[in-house]
Each structure stands twice: as structure tokens, then as C-alpha cells.
Structure 1
């Protein structure tokens, strides 16, 4: 995330809120980008927050939904959301809440995988993500399929933010061993068993088999992520 480091090198950032923090994966990035800033992470999942607290005991974590952030207006210098847009029931409302709690002249950071212009190994990752999203939705969990890059940019612009920087972040491909393929195939089976009583089960079983074949042929590579830094314009805040 060298681009982020360079962007914030001359910015005064004392407080950051990470929305949809999960187990705190993006907290580690934020610590590198803005060392010394006070960090708070929020997420509705108690188990994820417990793991995050154990990993980052110096960070404040609170159980909270992005659509209703329990913080006063103009509290943080920066608000971030990483790999969580596709989990939101209401993206516009969450981005609006992030705008509300960021101080005038502050920033938001969005880090989100996207679905277009992927290679064959990345298409396997997308297929696995879409498979999981179907399972989650059948179980009543909010989980959208991967957005296109242009959609993510549009979400941010529609929320009234001024995009100042965006770039693609791609992790190097990893050669999968037979054990890696077996483990990922096992995860597909475990997800599938969550809906073995649903009428969609047989179709999803066939889909899981096709993904396993694709894993063996193409391997696996994380889909490219789009990173956005945008300015908070309070004059547009409704």
C-alpha cells in the first residue's frame, strides 16, 4: 500500500475509524500507513471482534453496524472500509454515516475487490466468492456478488465524496499444491452443507464441482482490489 503511505505522508491524521473491520485485517495496513493514529474498529460480528481484539489489544473495537454508527458528527480524521462493501445491506447509508462522522477536511478510504479484467486464476477466486455469497443469502446473510470497478467508483461519487486517488492493488499469484486445492475444495463442501436442506442444493453442488475443476486447471489468485481515497465535502452533507 505504498500509494497510501505517500498520500498520507503530509496529512495530519490522529484518529481513524475502520468500518466492517472483521478480524482486523485492514487495521494492520492502517498502522503502517498512519503510524501513531488512534484506531477504532466496528463490526456487527462478535466472534470476529473477539479475534481482532486479541490480535490488536491497543485498538478499540465496538459491535456496530455501518448503517448506524454510534459516534457524534465530526469525530474522526479518517474512516475506512475494506473488503466489506459487498456485505452491506445499504451501501449508500453506510457511506453517508462515514461522511457524517468524519471531520471537515477529512478522508475516507475504500478497499474493495472487483470483478472485471481478471485472469483465469482470479476468476476462480471470483467464482468461489460468488458461491459463498449465494450460500449466505440463502441463509439470510447480506452478501452481494463482486462489483465491477466502475460500480465501486460510482458508489463513492454518488455519496458525495471527491475522489483524490485510486489505484489497483494485486497480490502476487501463489502456486497451489495438491493440499491447497484439497483444502479449498473442502471449504466449498463445508459451505454447501449449510444448505443441504434447500431446494437449490443440487444446483450448488454442481457449481462447487465445477469450481473444484477450475481450481485444478487454473489455480487460485486473489481478485484485484480497488483502493480509493476520497475527500469529505461537508457542504454536500444532507
Structure 2
């Protein structure tokens, strides 16, 4: 990510904590932007961490929630959270913990998809994402609908962080093949099967052919992501 490289090119970042790391995708991005940096990744899902450890054998991973970080104050030069804000039960508590473990004057990096001002192909992605988040919530999993761009910035400012820069990041639109569309439809059917005994099943089932039709008509493109780099204020 070129903007990250430009921002950190003259800055020393020796240690980074990646919160909600999942399979470690954002660590791969950060490795391209930062040099000689030691990474730590945390996530409450052990299966995701096992996958991340295969990709990043040089990174230390721990099972941990963002709301309660088991690290001393001022441990890291920076902390990041990517594509995970909408999974948090308490966004502000997580930001407070990230602030606590980052050294004063250090940085917090947020990478989060947003839900407004999207083109039709991105709206397809949003509808698929919200379909899954609805099923997760019915299963008792914290998976909220995505924030708007303004709401993400508001959450960062509310945490008392000073925004240094913020920019949008987009991936290219994909024209899915018939096979791709069939696979995505099968994924939705598999997700829906988790709640086959619930009354909401039949209403959600109606969305699948609508999403399939939109895929055929508009293609698929990841929703735009907002990247925010903020600094932890010095006392």
C-alpha cells in the first residue's frame, strides 16, 4: 500500500500489534510498508491464528480479544486493526486498549471497509457481507453491519486519537464467470444452512436469487476501504 509506505518511510516502527489479525492478511501489507519490524498478532479465533502462523512463521500470535489486551502499557510503537471494527462488541474499549499498549507518540492504523457511496458492483459485496453478518448475529456471533466512512472517522476521533492522514483504498472490479457466481451462491446457501431451523431462514433465503442476479448484472468489487493513520497523543 503505497500511502502507508510514504507515511512511514522516515519513521522508526520497531514493534507492531495487529488486533483482530484473522489469518494475518494485514500483516502482509504492513510488512511491505515497514522495515525491520517485529509483529505480534492477536485474535479470539484459534483456527484463524493457526492459519496465520503458517503464512507468517516469524510472527508471534496469541488468542486474545481486543477489549482486553494482555500487554503492559506502552509496549508497541504502533497497533493496527484491519477489517475487524465491525466485529467488535465494544469499539471504544478496543481503541482504549490499543492506545494503552502503544507508546505515546506512536500510531494506530485502521483499515476498514465502509458502506456508503459504493458503486453497484461494490453494493453486491456489501449485500453478501450483510447477509453473512445477519446469520452470524442470529447465531450469537458479534458481526455488525458495516460503518459509513464518516462513522469510522467519528469512532477514531471519539477515542481521542489525532488523525494524521486518511485515504480510500479500492480493489478492481471483477467480472465473475458462471462458475464463480455458482460458487458464491453455494457459499450463501451454506451460510444460510446454519439457521435452517430458525423463522428468519425463509426471508433470508429470498435474498440469495437477488444477490445472484446482481452478480450477473454488475459483477463483484470489494467495498471501498478507509485507511486511517492516527497518533497516540503524548501526555
TM-score normalised by length of structure 1: 0.98
SS at match of 1:156: helix
Supply the distance in 1 between the matched residues of 2:214 and 2:198 (Cα, whole angstroms). Answer: 25
Supply the distance in 2 between the matched residues of 1:165 and 1:234 (Cα, whole angstroms). Answer: 18
- Which digits, 9 at most, give the CA deviation of each residue in 1:77-102, with x for residues without a partner? 00000000000000000000000000
Q: Which residue of 2 aligns with 1:212?
A: 212
Gaps of 5+ in 1: none
Is residue 2:33 matched to residue 1:33?
A: yes
How far off is 1:200 after superposition?
0.2
Supply the distance in 2 between the matched residues of 1:146 and 1:70 (Cα, whole angstroms). Answer: 27
TM alignment of 1:1-238, pairs within 5 A:
1-235=1-235
Supply the distance in 2 between the matched residues of 1:200 and 1:159 (Cα, whole angstroms). Answer: 36
How far off is 1:208 after superposition?
1.8
SS at match of 1:86: helix
SS at match of 1:81: strand
SS at match of 1:194: helix
Query: Which aligned segments of 4 or more residues in structure 1 are displaced greater than 2 angstroms?
Result: none
How far off is 1:212 after superposition?
1.3
Gaps of 5+ in 2: none
Two-structure CA RMSD over aligned residues (Å): 0.7
Supply the distance in 2 between the matched residues of 1:148 and 1:141 (Cα, whole angstroms). Answer: 21
Supply the distance in 2 between the matched residues of 1:155 and 1:24 (Cα, whole angstroms). Answer: 24
How far off is 1:173 after superposition?
1.1
- Which digits, 9 at most, give the CA deviation of each residue in 1:145-175, with x for residues without a partner? 0110000000000000000000000011122
How far off is 1:234 after superposition?
4.2
- Which digits, 9 at most, give the CA deviation of each residue in 1:103-146, with x for residues without a partner? 01100000000001100000000000100000000000000001
SS at match of 1:135: helix
How far off is 1:211 after superposition?
1.0
Q: Number of aligned pairs?
A: 235
How far off is 1:217 after superposition?
1.2
